[in-house]
Amino acid sequence: TSIPAPTVKDGDSKSDDDTSEEQISPAEKSLLQKIIRKGLVETTKDIEIQRQDPNSPLYSVKTFDALHLKPALLKGVYALGFNAPSRIQETALPTLLADPPQNMIAQSQSGTGKTAAFVLAMLSRVDVTKEYPQVLCLSPTYELAIQTGEVAAKMSRFCPEIKIKYAVRGEEISRGSKISEHIIIGTPGKVLDWGQKFKFFDLSKISVFVLDEADVMIATQGHQDQCIRIHKLLPRACQMMFFSATYEPEVMNFAEIIVSNPLIIRLLREEESLDNIKQYYIRCKNVDEKYTAITNIYGVITIGQAIIFCHTKKTASWLAGKMTKDGHAVAILSGDLTVEQRISVLDRFRAGLEKVLITTNVLARGIDVEQVTIVVNFDLPMDQNRQADCETYLHRIGRTGRFGKSGIAINLIDSDHAMELCRTIEKHFGKKIHYLDAEDADEIE
């Protein structure tokens, strides 16, 4: 029995399937980006410093050794494979670790090392002789809090005396007890409950406050108010650290409420480009020929991994089902999965257990993953009016970074309309999309 091809021709369907996956929340997007990324985003940009207390000189470090961390903590940093501070860390870390403590607002795109920076600051500020929470980190969701906690656990693996407590759903504490852990990482609602309502810990004894993913935080109903309520209960001398991947007026207004007299540092987003990407198109008569093209491509991927973008969930799951049935190891990331399932799919893909990831637009941004060498557009990206969506094309295919990792993009064309989209995209970027004979997929290497 063969799996029937999707009956609705992609792009002709205006059903919910088309867009349902693109509507994942900012928090989920941020999480997926964290999971899929193996290392730092390279950057050619310089740090922008927006406000600086004239009384405090600004330092920058080129090595972790120069930070004079506790040896066990430094060991933990190196054990993570970090050789040198990232661009944002070079400037952020000396300030975050300075005495007297300084407040900071830092903005840079996902993957530039913000989490690692504030986790290091959190860990180094802990006084283990005091058995109560001193460091509080707010994250927008359960999953993001866990991600941060895992970084903290790894970085502090040689400092077993530092204890971390999650204040997230599912964690319960019996009435009247007190939290003895040094660091609390949690979501605003739970932290308010524990700190204000149940008094499981004393917010007025917190000396380091981290607000992570501020842009995601304000996109979540009620979170901003809860953060502000928590902030009001913190002591004046508490060090405030505020992080965001984006820089909008709402984020900055929020920042101004939370952080007084801050050092503001920004790292501009690295632009994506098609410069080092070889682009091709393959003519196919129908969806079955597209499938054949995919299997040919699969056959020639010897190194690296591929991501295949489909326009609808339906096509994505059809393709995944058929490839699996034909004995190919593929992963599928679809909107039908739970958050846990998505994490596990991306974890496996990042670990290289599957060579191919099939998805819709969920990952359109943030797929600049080193090990992905081939991106296939099973369907060309288009907007609601069926016009070429050049921006999405660039997010899917483009790469950042000065070392210009090269890549290959293959567009499957099965109609005149698809050919038109392809021509429009080609013209828009002024970069040739070469014809590739369906039989000659091996030419691409």
* Between 102 and 112, CB nearer to ligand ADP: 112
* Between 90 and 389, CB nearer to ligand ADP: 90
Shortest distance in whole angstroms from residue 217 CB to ligand ADP: 14
Shortest distance in whole angstroms from residue 213 CB to ligand ADP: 9
Are 109 and 270 within 8 A, CB to CB?
Answer: yes
Shortest distance in whole angstroms from residue 265 CB to ligand ADP: 12
Dihedral, CA atoms, 241, 236, 102, 143, nearest 10 degrees? -10
**How many angstroms from the chain centroid is the CA of residue 385?**
29
Dihedral, CA atoms, 136, 142, 144, 148, nearest 10 degrees? 40
Are 399 and 405 within 8 A, CB to CB?
Answer: yes
Shortest distance in whole angstroms from residue 244 CB to ligand ADP: 10
Q: Residues 371-410, buried b or exposed e (16+ Cβ, 10 A)?
A: ebbbbbbbbbbbeeeeebbbebbbbbbbbbbeeebebbbb
The per-residue DSSP string of 176-239 comes to: T-----SEEEE-HHHHHIIIIIS-SS-GGG--EEEE--HHHHHHSTTHHHHHHHHHHTS-TT-E
Are 240 and 260 within 8 A, CB to CB?
Answer: yes
* Between 39 and 352, CB nearer to ligand ADP: 39
11: left (phi over 0), alpha (psi -120 to 50) or beta: left
* Between 40 and 252, CB nearer to ligand ADP: 40
Q: Tokens for 317, please give them.
A: 């799951």
Shortest distance in whole angstroms from residue 368 CB to ligand ADP: 12
Phi, psi of 65 (to 5 degrees): -60, -35
Residues comprising the chain, all counted = 445
Shortest distance in whole angstroms from residue 304 CB to ligand ADP: 19
* Between 37 and 395, CB nearer to ligand ADP: 37
Distance in angstroms (rounded) separating the CA atoms of residues 29 and 49 = 28
Are 233 and 196 within 8 A, CB to CB?
Answer: yes
Shortest distance in whole angstroms from residue 369 CB to ligand ADP: 11
Distance in angstroms (rounded) separating the CA atoms of residues 332 and 181 = 39
* Between 113 and 381, CB nearer to ligand ADP: 113
Shortest distance in whole angstroms from residue 253 CB to ligand ADP: 22
Shortest distance in whole angstroms from residue 173 CB to ligand ADP: 28
Shortest distance in whole angstroms from residue 300 CB to ligand ADP: 29
Shortest distance in whole angstroms from residue 410 CB to ligand ADP: 28
Are 270 and 44 within 8 A, CB to CB?
Answer: yes
Q: Residues 175-189, buried b or exposed e (16+ Cβ, 10 A)?
A: eeeebebbbbbbbbe
List strands edge to edge, sheet with 277-283. Answer: 330-333, 356-359, 305-309, 372-377, 407-413, 277-283, 433-435
Query: What element of type H or E holds 75?
Result: helix 71-79
Q: Which of 170, 141, 113, 180 lies closest to 27, judged by CA?
A: 141
Q: Which of 364, 365, 366, 357 lies closest to 337, judged by CA?
A: 357
* Between 79 and 228, CB nearer to ligand ADP: 79
Distance in angstroms (rounded) separating the CA atoms of residues 261 and 252 = 13
Q: For 427, how many CA atoms within 13 A lie in the half-sphere containing its CB?
A: 8
* Between 86 and 91, CB nearer to ligand ADP: 86
Shortest distance in whole angstroms from residue 38 CB to ligand ADP: 6
* Between 121 and 418, CB nearer to ligand ADP: 121
* Between 96 and 330, CB nearer to ligand ADP: 96
Q: Where does this chain bind ligand ADP (CB under 6 A)?
A: 34, 37, 39-40, 82, 85-86, 89, 108, 110-116
* Between 37 and 313, CB nearer to ligand ADP: 37
* Between 69 and 436, CB nearer to ligand ADP: 69
